[in-house]
Structure 1
């Protein structure tokens, strides 16, 4: 049998999905698969798909004729095309067309609940994206169920596993805390794009409850996005103990330095922050939203999405209880040990590729 060739397609490419494609590309190349990644050029600069051994074709996010032509050329002789995210799936569906020369696999990484006219529009897009796929991987059971509801022919759980943290990360904790000015105060860390569904408005509401602590914990938020200006205005106007750090290349070290990690999202599938915090043994307070309970089990404190008083109380209780923090740290490492490894994820994906190629 000839060498298997797969094209991995990213649309906008969140940090989680881009890191997954980088890991997947490296694992597939190591197993003798020829991999081409199609994505905006900025993502290769950030995630170095070429360094993973893959070919790379720059395809802008916009769906103009030139972008679609570049994607069509890259997919021309593929054995399997794998789209990551619904935007990418819809674009690939247009490119492959009715001829369907190569089977399409879709990994559905996340979705945000919507209502009204926008919700109806999103449901139509979801149906179209999964209808075109031979196999849909959902990163949580909630997404698998949604894919089936939208008409997927074959939907399977495909947990996306981020790379394990490098050894020695904890050694940088003191340096990070010193940089942030948190040597003599508690440090609470959140990570993620500054977008509404990540719940940072709720986190700011919660931080008001900590103003009467002496000193109040420092809340450090790593991430960038369209909501930054509005969040900063609130922080300044209300004197909140919150720092927006922007994009960081040392997120793992930042988390390792934290007393508590916080995930205030309205919805998540398999959040990278949750994975990193539990692997590092950092106590986590998260919302019981989407796939989060499935991911963390009993190894985190869960509160309802949007409930700022509950979020504040859960963090406060942990900061005041070193023994509970130690229990959660140990439970997190045990929970993380049961997750699929990067090798497990690559093996699952490759088995589906072989299955699809054999059935052609």
Structure 2
């Protein structure tokens, strides 16, 4: 049987593993930060009608510019944004890949701060961009001083900042973003995939966009909109950034069906986003209950919680799985991440945690 070793694979890809979380059929799946609430029937019907309307014309290519969708996204984001400042693709991963294709590449570098979103280094690898790890502090925090020092040292072409950060859940102080913008010679990308879950008063980098043509804010509909299967990510930036992405995007990259479904979801945003507050309540409940049990927990502005296991994280991960609860081992020694879901899912998770703690005692 042919293996990868038998193929003329790029040397920098040899020995690598693809990104992905375990896909296990269990009663409680809290490992990929999905929205646990199914799409309401009223939205299902609306999306169905929108997709149905496109079927007869599938012999034609979709709108290459996704103009109507981009206008809807700009209106949703607010901040005075216009359609020409927004770009959409198949998930924010594709958005960030396009940004690296345009502004990274061979001979260029991207800087990030781990623990952070583990796809960023992989996207850098796939685009031939050298990845530089600026690391976060021992408390997972990121100060303006540390971030600026890393930018000065490495002079990256692209800087990735996550707010709220994945897997820690922590949001950035605005001073970090403005300080990096003032120092960075290249593009600054703020990954706001979990922005809708942030606690009240947490600012978005969208407010910093005016006057900063090298700033890009990326978002997704996967989480708050319960649209993970729809695959729709987008960015907000200066129109010149959108023009740059046009140079590398694949032709007709966003299908007519995806555009129609996303527009229907946006039209019913109030219904879909109604689950956000419920998820935030469960997130805060998980934080409080884990701390009550004596565990160290990172403060979270996202729809997940990172907590310390006090030892090898693989053992509690296995014990929880035995009890039908799948959470995420993000590869951070001594820590695990759990998605905030429904109240019943939180009950099951906490019950499994208690079983682990009893076995550990």
Q: What TM-score do you get using the length of structure 2 for normalisation?
A: 0.30
Which gives a bigger RCO, structure 1 or 2 (Cα 8 Å, sep 6+)? Answer: 2
